């Protein structure tokens, strides 16, 4: 008999989601907008600690509107996290601007402030920085924000993976002028799809909502003075999000427990868990590790062995400067050999699903340890 599938991270539903969705059906508000959208925006803004939020169809849509709000246009330079998913950086291309990729550092795996300073020395005209908090771990946010402020650059914080994580006691998704979270299916809470744009700038959020509803002018007929997008969140989807938000802190605690059990179990084999600065509390969305230098066992060996046991693991994100679509784009590092490449080559994302039992996690652990 085949072993039960152990997932990397998948949705965990509770029941309250159905109540909010039922309300949407009962009131026939199944199309975009409605009470669930309005309340989800308020509840999420209140949780994170920002003044305003716009619920959108995806985190990528929120990033795109953030780039537009930052005034990024054709020919502009935007500094972007190198070690991230492509969704972080693709919206720069939507606006015909050019990415310059900034290497990571080893304390958080996120954008390196030293490399960012080097980038501003080379491209002082840069007016926007796209920063991602990798796998739920906050970057060195105060240092990066200070550098951006000193150069008059707008910081966009991609907190898609770090909802409920804090840096020096402050929620991620609050450090940028514009901030983004995601509710994709494998995130710490999900709406099946969707995202949100966050800002203390009320006019900016109003503008984002306008663009997201096809830039329809306030006229009795269909009139459009700007190009718009179909980016607003469905009222049904928002209902799922409201039910999930009730359990966000519970999900974070379960994720941390998974990380802690891995860290303890792997203390005597040559691997290192994904690190985080002492001043931060990650949401531990995905537990990851790097195999120590010089070890004969490689991440793909581990991933293939787990796959043979019906267990899902994944490689670390392939750095953006190594992607074929961005061949020839500039990459700035403070290291002789790129940190992001090193983490990618030695790293692995482990099963981190909160429905995974301790017995199932023990099975994952024993399989990995047997390879060493």
Strand partners, 314: 349
| Residue 320 exposed, middle or buried by CB count within 10 Å (0-12, 13-18, 19+) | buried
Q: Which of 87, 76, 181 is nearest to 129 (CA)?
A: 76
Can you state the angle between helices 59-69 and 202-212, rounded to 10 degrees?
120
Question: What is the arithmetic mean of pLDDT over 88-117?
Answer: 98
> What pLDDT was estimated at residue 370?
97
Structure-token pair, residue 139? 């970057």
For the stretch 58-87, pLDDT in tens is: 999 999 999 999 999 999 999 999 999 999
* Mode of pairing for the β-strands spanning 178-182 and 52-56: unpaired
Distances (CA, A) of 175 to 86, 124, 184, 206, 212: 21, 22, 22, 20, 23
Strand partners, 154: 128
Q: What CATH code is assigned to 16-245?
A: 3.40.640.10
pLDDT band for position 1 (cuts 50, 70, 90): low
Cβ atoms of 307 and 313 within 8 Å: the answer is yes
- Residue 169 clears pLDDT 70, i.e. is over it: yes
> What mean pLDDT is reported for the chain?
97
For the stretch 250-259, pLDDT in tens is: 999 999 999 9
Rg (CA), the chain: 21
Share of the chain above pLDDT 90, in %: 98
**How long a stretch of residues is the chain?**
372
CA distance 200 to 185: 27
**Can you give the residue ranges of every domain in the chain?**
16-245, 248-370
Question: What is the arithmetic mean of pLDDT over 130-147?
Answer: 98
pLDDT band for position 29 (cuts 50, 70, 90): confident
Question: What is the arithmetic mean of pLDDT over 94-110?
Answer: 98
CATH class, domain 248-370, is: alpha beta
Question: What is the arithmetic mean of pLDDT over 233-248?
Answer: 97
DSSP 72-131: --TT-EEEEESSS-GGGTHHHHHTT-EEEEE-B-TTTSSB-HHHHHHHHHH-TT--EEEE
Structure-token pair, residue 43? 């509840």
* Mode of pairing for the β-strands spanning 128-132 and 154-158: parallel
- Residue 44 clears pLDDT 70, i.e. is over it: yes
For the stretch 302-356, pLDDT in tens is: 999 999 999 999 999 999 999 999 999 999 999 999 999 999 999 999 999 999 9
| CB atoms near residue 149 (< 10 Å) | 11
> What pLDDT was estimated at residue 3?
84
> What pLDDT was estimated at residue 30?
84
Query: Alpha helices of 200-247 — where are they, by DSSP H?
Result: 202-212, 235-245
> What pLDDT was estimated at residue 11?
95
Structure-token pair, residue 206? 């109003």
Cβ atoms of 240 and 190 within 8 Å: the answer is yes
What residues contact residue 248 under an 8 Å CB cut-off, 6+ apart?
47, 163, 164, 188, 189
CA distance 160 to 196: 9
Structure-token pair, residue 259? 């990380």
- Residue 2 clears pLDDT 90, i.e. is over it: no
Share of the chain above pLDDT 70, in %: 100
Cβ atoms of 353 and 8 within 8 Å: the answer is yes
What are the two backbone dihedrals, phi and then psi, of residue 291, each rounded to the nearest 5 degrees? -80, 130
DSSP 312-327: --EEPPPPGGGSGGGT
DSSP 277-311: -TTEE----S-EEEEPTT-S--HHHHHHHHHHTTB
pLDDT band for position 32 (cuts 50, 70, 90): confident
First-to-last alpha carbon distance for the chain, in angstroms, is 27
Structure-token pair, residue 317? 């994100």
């Amino acid at each position: 008999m085949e072993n039960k599938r152990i997932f990397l991270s998948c949705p965990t539903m509770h029941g309250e989601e159905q109540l909010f969705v039922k309300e949407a059906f009962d009131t026939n508000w199944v199309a975009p907008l409605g009470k669930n959208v309005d309340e989800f925006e308020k509840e999420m803004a209140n949780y994170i600690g920002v003044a305003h939020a716009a619920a959108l169809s995806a985190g990528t849509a929120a990033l795109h509107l953030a780039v537009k709000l930052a005034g990024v246009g054709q020919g502009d330079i935007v500094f972007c996290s190198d070690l991230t998913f492509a969704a972080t950086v693709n919206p720069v291309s939507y606006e015909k601007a050019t990415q310059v990729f900034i290497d990571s550092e080893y304390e958080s795996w996120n954008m390196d402030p030293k490399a960012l300073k080097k980038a501003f020395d080379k491209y002082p005209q840069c007016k926007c920085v796209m920063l991602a908090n990798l796998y739920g771990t906050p970057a060195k946010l105060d240092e990066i924000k200070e550098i951006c402020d000193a150069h008059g650059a707008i910081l966009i914080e991609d907190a898609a993976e770090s909802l409920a994580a804090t840096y020096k006691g402050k929620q991620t998704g609050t450090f940028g002028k514009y901030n983004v979270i995601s509710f994709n299916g494998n995130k710490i809470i999900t709406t099946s799809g969707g995202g949100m744009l966050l800002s203390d700038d009320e006019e900016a959020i109003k503008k984002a909502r306008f663009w997201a509803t096809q830039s329809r002018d306030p006229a009795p007929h269909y009139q459009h003075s700007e190009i718009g997008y179909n980016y607003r969140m469905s009222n049904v989807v928002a209902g799922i999000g409201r039910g999930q938000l009730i359990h966000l802190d519970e999900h974070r605690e379960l994720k941390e427990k998974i990380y802690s059990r891995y860290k303890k179990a792997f203390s005597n084999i040559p691997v290192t868990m994904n690190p985080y600065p002492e001043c931060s509390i990650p949401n531990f969305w995905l537990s990851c590790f790097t195999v120590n230098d010089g070890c004969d066992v490689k991440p793909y060996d581990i991933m293939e062995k787990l796959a043979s046991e019906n267990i899902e693991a994944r490689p670390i994100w392939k750095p953006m400067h190594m992607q074929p679509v961005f061949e020839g784009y500039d990459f700035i590092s403070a290291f002789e050999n790129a940190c992001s490449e090193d983490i990618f080559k030695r790293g692995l994302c482990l099963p981190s699903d909160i429905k995974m039992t301790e017995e199932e996690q023990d099975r994952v652990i024993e399989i990995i340890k047997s390879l060493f």
